[in-house]
Amino acid sequence: MGQTENMIERGSPIPSVTTQLITADGTSETTSEAVLGSGLVVFFAVPGAFTPTCHVNHLPGFVANAAKLRAAGVDRIVCAAVNDKHVMKAWAEASGALGQIDFLADGNGELADALGLSKDFSGAGMGKRFTRSAALIRDGIVQDVFVEDAPGVTATGAPAILMALETLKV
């Protein structure tokens, strides 16, 4: 399960995979294409809800920078993880992110696989998960994709995405 095999890249269309969407309005079944296919979307994926780096470093940066991202032209901010919809809803609520960030629950890792962003975390007892990543998507087409090559949040954090949005405007 290599994380770069068949990985989405600039110019790739977003695949349509059934998933669960968690928003301030509730939870609904939808497709990745319906959620990520319209307007300018910042999509970021984390290995797991409530996991230390994701909960303390990754998600809070997007919550804190949501207004700046919207001011930069972003229509929607979406966080995905290979967790069930109940865990994702609890995380969205506990983090105070609902209303600013929408969440995709990819319980079986099908979206992670379709995007070529799945990673085997079995060594940590977590099974298949998303590799820590982010993408800028305009009208369903990937404009740029970022993948962390080491533990922590640098290339996929909100500050890096804000910088990438500036580059995209050029």
Please write the tens of the pLDDT for every residue from 5-60. Answer: 588 999 999 999 999 999 999 999 999 999 999 999 999 999 888 765 555 567 88
Report the Cα 24 to chain-centroid distance in Å: 17
Q: Give yes or no: 54 in active site.
A: yes
Q: Residue 2: inside a domain, yes or no?
A: no
Q: Residue 67: inside a domain, yes or no?
A: yes
Residue 138 parent element (H or E): strand 133-138
pTM value > 0.75? yes
Q: What is the pLDDT of residue 123?
A: 78
Neighbours of 160 (CB within 10 A): 15
Tell me how many domains the chain contains. Answer: 1
Q: Residue 26: inside a domain, yes or no?
A: yes
Its domain, for residue 117, covers 18-147
First to last CA, the chain: 36
Distances (CA, A) of 30 to 21, 63, 75: 7, 23, 18
Active-site position among 22, 45, 54, 63:
54
Q: Residue 168: inside a domain, yes or no?
A: no
Distances (CA, A) of 91 to 19, 59, 60, 61, 121: 17, 10, 12, 15, 20
Q: List strand residue ranges (DSSP E) for 32-113, in order.
A: 40-46, 76-81, 102-105
